[in-house]
Amino acid sequence: MTIFRCPLCGGPLWEAPQGLGCPRGHRFDRAREGYVHLLPVGRKHSLAPGDDKAMVAARRAFLDKGWYAPLREALAALAVEHTGNDPVVLDAGCGEGYYTAGVREALLAAGKSPHAAGFDISKFAVQKAAKRCPALDLAVASAYHIPVADEAADLLLNVFSPLAIGEFRRVLKKGGYYLYVVPAARHLWELKEVLYDAPYPNEEKETPYEGFAYETIVPVSYTVHLPGQEDIQALFQMTPYAWKTPGAGKARLAALTELDCRVDFRIHVFKKEA
């Protein structure tokens, strides 16, 4: 069983030799890790869009040590609260599957029978997600052209991923919930103080979206103590700061032996209107 649909014609997909196929004869090979590639060549803006191997590896190393476990636990609790017994969960921009797998585990522990799926435009990220949790239904795909039928998901997750609100509204069932995670104003503030001469806070706002009702905003805030360069560099390399930090900032970061850093998220909870 897969939640995904053919990205070329929109038809249903079923198991075919070495992958998935649709009624019109389109075929999609399944990678050895278990995911399928549903990003047509015409929608790729580069040879390997999305996060590269280094960023994915850094994020996995950092997350696997539990530094962002409180966020995963908060998402899992909201997923359990806002779903029925047999929910279809779709993680838009699932990365290497840390949150997707955590939500699935929590739903199973609550006695539910979830169908948990995720997609990301980075094949390197989806490869890691498939290895992390082979039970996930995974694909390489774009959030702006989600290969999923209308109103297929009961719960939609978006953790630091592109906002494609029209597509999110389309694939979510009426009465379904959308959990949108964004950084709060001073998220990673101490890291930014090392990297930049004049850091500025992230913008925080409450944006209403057509077809969705605001339910609540859940804060997740705490401080981590990173004991050495391995964890400090993993955090740095998994953020967009790795692309745009000047050499002086990188040098200051490399000189640190430890770092106490604020972690500050906001989970915006929306319900799709009937």
Strand order in the sheet with 27-29: 14-16, 19-21, 27-29
pTM above 0.85, yes or no: yes
Q: 144 — phi, psi (to 5°)?
A: -85, -10
| Per-residue pLDDT reduced to its tens digit, 17-46 | 889 999 999 999 999 999 999 998 766 666
Distance CA 11, CA 262 (A): 46
Q: pLDDT (tens digit, 9 = 90+) per residue, 106-115?
A: 999 999 999 9
User: Exposed, middle or buried: residue 7 (CB in 10 Å: 0-12, 13-18, 19+)?
Assistant: buried
Q: Provide the token pair at 30.
A: 């399944």
Pick the CATH number of 14-183+202-220+265-272 from 3.40.50.300, 3.40.50.150, 3.40.640.10, 1.10.10.10: 3.40.50.150
Q: pLDDT tens, position by position, for the chain (274 residues)?
A: 799 999 999 999 998 888 999 999 999 999 999 999 999 876 666 666 778 999 999 999 999 999 999 999 999 999 999 999 999 999 999 999 999 999 999 999 999 999 999 999 999 999 999 999 999 999 999 999 999 999 999 999 999 999 999 999 999 999 999 999 999 999 999 999 999 999 999 999 899 999 999 999 999 999 999 999 999 999 999 999 998 899 999 999 999 999 999 999 999 999 999 8
Q: How far apart are CA 236 and CA 243, in angstroms?
A: 10
Residues counted in the chain: 274
